[in-house]
Amino acid sequence: MLISIGGANGQVQLTTTAARDTFVSSVSNIIDTYGLDGLDIDFEGHSLSLDTSDTNFRSPTTPVVVNLISALKTLKAKYGSKFVLSMAPETFFVQMGYQFYGTGKFGGQDPRCGAYLPVIYALRDDLTLLHVQDYNSGPIMGLDNQYHTMGGADFHIAMTDMLLTGFPWRATRTTCSRRCVPTRSPSACRRRSTRATAMSPRPRSPRPWTA
């Protein structure tokens, strides 16, 4: 049994180290009180966004991102390897990073684009399950450079393939792309459908994040 934090109306922003420490203390108290097995992070809305100068998912500088990473690493270290850590981000925060990352070169993009990528990368060895929402999504470009719309099999396949194969991320201040693979193992990737069911990915060898 897990505690899930966030959701559409549950905005959480760890803007300071004090907020981070309070978050860790509060979550720990709930886990200990009810004997829970782990934590599900479902930060949506404006909980995560990237500062204009934050252009590299491998070394983030935005406080709400850095503090979340630190908090989750602290909780994982406290409860050990059997502690379940899952995430349920929207496609906007993950696969959208294929086209847009942060505010963009001219500062006109939504700063939430791809904002989960640095969190997923930093916790790639700690995540038990990554199940990106295949709902609450606009059209998303897949690795075939075609737009896919939620509600059909092609959308589920395209979004899952991006997690298993990896995708170039669009840096905000440059035209170059970098190859990303969000997790250390394909078994950590699942998708959430509108029925909250999981699709088992086809077997693939884990691939590291590389530049």
- Which residues, at least 6 apart from 27, have a Cβ–Cβ distance to it below 8 Å? 3, 5, 39, 71, 75
**What element of type H or E holds 37?**
none
Q: Count CB neighbours of 114 within 10 A.
A: 28
Give the dihedral sign, CA 110/72/191/97: positive
Give the dihedral sign, CA 199/149/90/166: positive
Q: Would you say 148 and 134 are in contact if contact means Cβ atoms under 8 Å apart?
A: no
Alpha-carbon span 200 to 34, nearest angstrom: 30
Helix (H, G, I), strand (E, B) or coil at 91: helix
Tokens 């509060």 — which residue?
26
Active site residues: 44
